[in-house]
Amino acid sequence: MSETTDQKITRLRAELKQARQDLLAAEAELAEQLADVEAFEYLFEAHVGHLVDRLAQLEAEVDEYMRRIKQMRHDRLFDSSYRPVDEQFNRTWHSAPSPKQKKPKAKQAPEATQAEIKRLYRQLARRFHPDLARDEAEGVFRTEKMRAVNDAYRAGSMVELMALAEELEGYVVNTAVPPPSPQTTNQMAQALQEELARIQRQLYYVDNQLTNLPNRPMVALMVEVKFGKREGRDVLVEMAADLERKIARKEVERDMIKSQFDQLA
């Protein structure tokens, strides 16, 4: 027996409700995992980040001294006006723009704390929840905005969350009367079908992010740190010690090359 339009609407409503719940659960899980990764990144920066930066700085100094030594040797072999072919090419075709051409840097707004972002996110998540919708049309609106709220939270964008909060206030004021629903059962079924397909696509996207999250280098390191603790190891301390040894060797290398440069100069 074929399904009637009313039966189809009932089925689609049930599927849509379940799909929304699945999407919200998946987005909440993704947001929670990303928050854990962000917390670990702060820990990484506190223990290791400054050492990574120091090593990179030393490597840049070594490269610069090597470049200048090479240039001085060229100047001694030829006259000071001589420039290697590659440098002549770069000067001709990749010259730096004049000061007038440089664009002023945009001023950045002060960053909000993670606690402030999370607090506003939770407020919006409660108020935009699709389960509060009075009909399908409002459900579509709330689901779309909930997705934007989750995206803004994952990006750590307080500005976007505040803009969504203002939009929510305007929406609440302007919706004393519920928005109209589709007039016919066929239109209702079509709208439900399209919304279900859209949410399923979004759920696939979020699930894909969750699946690929362990492939991120920082996540892999976070897992390694957790397993290290079970074995009585502190992986970050080990990394810091290894970086300190590399920094010490690189400082010796930098000083030797600097001495060569000073002698040539």
Q: In this structure, is the dihedral angle defined by the CA atoms of residues 195, 200, 205 and 209, taken in order, positive or negative?
A: positive
Report d(CA 238, CA 218) in Å as an integer.
Answer: 16
3-state secondary structure of 7: helix
pTM for the predicted model, two decimal places: 0.48
Identify the residue whose tokens are 């696509």. Answer: 201
- Quick one: which of 27, 31, 21 has its CA closest to 207? 27
Q: What residues have CB less than 8 Å from 227, skipping those under 6 apart? A: none
Token readout for 165 is 């909060």
Q: Specify the long-range contacts of residues 98-101, CB closer than 8 Å, at least 24 apart.
A: none
**Cβ contact 261:61 at 8 Å:** no
Alpha-carbon 220 to chain mean position: 16
**What is the full per-residue pLDDT of the chain (265 aa) written as tens digits?**
678 888 888 888 899 899 999 999 999 998 998 888 889 888 898 889 899 999 999 999 999 999 999 888 888 887 655 565 566 656 656 555 544 555 444 444 345 577 788 888 878 877 777 766 666 677 777 787 888 888 778 777 777 778 778 777 666 545 544 444 444 778 888 888 888 999 999 999 999 989 998 888 888 999 999 999 999 999 999 999 999 999 999 999 999 999 988 988 7
Residue 142's alpha-carbon distances to 125, 136, 138, 167, 230, in angstroms, are 10, 10, 6, 12, 43
Residue 39's alpha-carbon distances to 5, 45, 240, in angstroms, are 50, 10, 18
